[in-house]
Structure 1
């Protein structure tokens, strides 16, 4: 087989493996980059490098693998833009956490978010009490958006920063 075709096929396989792995492990993981997560990302990138380029450690082999990743990502985004079905397969749906001051404890349990974590997020958005939240949603990118009922409060956008142990990454 042509060595560059081999790199192309390997890179595509690794890309789709990573898309599936991120889908399985959930959007919550995307918004929580702590030290253990950064280490995990570095180790994954090192582990899949050889899976993509095989024995070819040349500059050309690395550039072909990188180009394939950019192209396949571009194509997947175009397909997702045009296909709701593919988008639903690749991305999770947003989840309502609070609606008109009422907390959805089933959604919190499903997403493994504690009420203390949710309290922290709403405070970061300038809201003191759950009852003052008109809508709080876990977005598809793993961030939590909060809209208060108070027209004078400016809405803000914060990343969730929840510190988990390395053992939690393996769950």
Structure 2
């Protein structure tokens, strides 16, 4: 039993090489698939992600079903990710290569069909993202951007933005002025 838990069947050097190679392959595939795959995971995308993880499992650990082999493969995968993330953060050019650039999907209250269509993004999903960020629809937006990591950033038109602390403070000050003016009128001043 203990032998089965620890016998890896392949060398740790091979396991390391396999893990890094599969990581780079998946990174390239996701980059080619586009940011939509990361932006709003729908049922189709979830199925692909789950199956993808299962498909590449044997490529990472090979015929190894041991606990130590799985633990080692997981550790190499996490370490590889940490290295790539730090490299992308340190070198802008490498970050753009791995993740791409922001993409404007809508401007001045109108969708940009070339940008949304090319990425396979449904407008219904994008409208939901706008509502989550305080707008009623694309007409309320100054710009909608798909960031490299897949995040949708909505910039609302100034008149459609929610009140902030400065707006509340200005209203409170105006109410205070009105109260003082009313009190002055009551007391004949």
The counterpart of 2:12, out of the listed 4, 7, 21, is 4
Whole-Å separation in 2 of the counterparts to 1:108 and 1:37: 17
Matched residue SS, 2:143: strand
The counterpart of 2:99, out of the listed 68, 91, 97, is 91
Q: Does 1:27 align with 2:35?
A: yes
Inter-CA distance 98–34: structure 2 relative to 1 (3 Å threshold): closer
Q: Does 1:67 align with 2:75?
A: yes
The residue that corresponds to 2:148 in the other structure is 140
Measure how far apart 1:96 and its partner are: 1.3
The counterpart of 1:53, out of the listed 45, 61, 75, is 61
Which one has a larger percent helix, Structure 1 or Structure 2? 2
Moved more, 23-32 or 124-133: 124-133
Deviation digits for residues 104-128 of structure 1 (CA, Å, limit 9, x no counterpart): 2322222233444433432333323
Measure how far apart 1:4 and its partner are: 0.8
Q: Which runs of 5+ in 2 are unaligned?
A: 1-9, 165-189
Moved more, 57-66 or 30-39: 30-39
For the aligned residue pairs, the C-alpha RMSD in angstroms reads: 2.3
Taking structure 2 as the reference length, the TM-score comes to 0.71
Q: Does 1:79 align with 2:87?
A: yes
Aligned residues: 154
Deviation digits for residues 30-88 of structure 1 (CA, Å, limit 9, x no counterpart): 13333343332232222212111112221111111111111111111111111112111
Q: Does 1:153 align with 2:162?
A: yes
Whole-Å separation in 1 of the counterparts to 2:98 and 2:161: 37
Taking structure 1 as the reference length, the TM-score comes to 0.77
Choose 1 or 2 for highest CA Rg. 2
Between 1 and 2, higher relative CO (CA 8 Å, sep ≥ 6) is seen in: 1
